[in-house]
Amino acid sequence: MEATNHLKASLVAAIALANTFGSAWRHGRRSPEPTVTAVQDVLRLTTRQAVGVEVEAYAPGGRRLYDALSCLPAGDVDAAVEVVNALLRSTKAAPQLTRHEDAPWHLHFGDPGVATGWIAEFATATAMLLGSGDVHRLRRCEAARCEDLFLDATRNRSQRFCSTACQNRTKVAAHRARST
């Protein structure tokens, strides 16, 4: 169903925004300061609309989402719920059918023209995760110097790294450790 796919895409974007503002280390490097392009790349995961972006407007929400999602790998769903409920309240997330230009009617949980609207959207997508059986699929990358969170997409729940880059990095390091 389209509506569900839309929320799934918003969850992927929510995790990406959380990593953008919350991870101090990503893929082996110190995280760069988030840029307009970085935030726009995140939004492009869930909308085709061009959105004007001020980075500072996304920073507090992005960090809150990271705080919430970070509780999940340790199994502390209650703590995540507290943060997400607060975000839902402060952003006044509410379902609203919206239509931009020639796109069909679809559901948004905040005004897609402003940062608060997107944080409302991402908080809603995260709330759906917290209320589902998939909540245990949220993981933290196990590679050194990477704090990115990701959704384990494997059937047997065996994904340990956020990306093949981190997986390869870890393999090379293990190999080097063995051969010296």
Minimum Å gap between C-beta 129 and Zn ion is: 20
Q: Which is nearer to Zn ion, 86 or 103 (CB)?
A: 103
Nearer of residues 85 and 167 to Zn ion, judged by Cβ: 167
Question: Least distance from C-beta 121 to Zn ion, angstroms?
Answer: 9
Q: How far is CA 32 from CA 20, 38, 57, in A?
A: 9, 10, 17
Angle at 64 between CA 96 and CA 5, to 5 degrees: 40
Binding site for Zn ion (CB under 5 A): 112, 141, 143, 146, 148, 162, 166
When the beta carbons of 58 and 161 are compared against Zn ion, the nearer one is: 161
For the beta carbon of residue 54, count every other beta carbon within 10 angstroms. Answer: 11
Residue among 51, 45, 53, 42 nearest 18 (CA): 42
CB of 20 to Zn ion, least distance (A): 14
Minimum CB separation from Zn ion for residue 81, in Å? 26
Closer residue to Zn ion, CB minimum distance, 50 or 180: 50
- Distances in Å between the Cα of 134 and the Cα atoms of 8, 137, 139 are 12, 5, 11
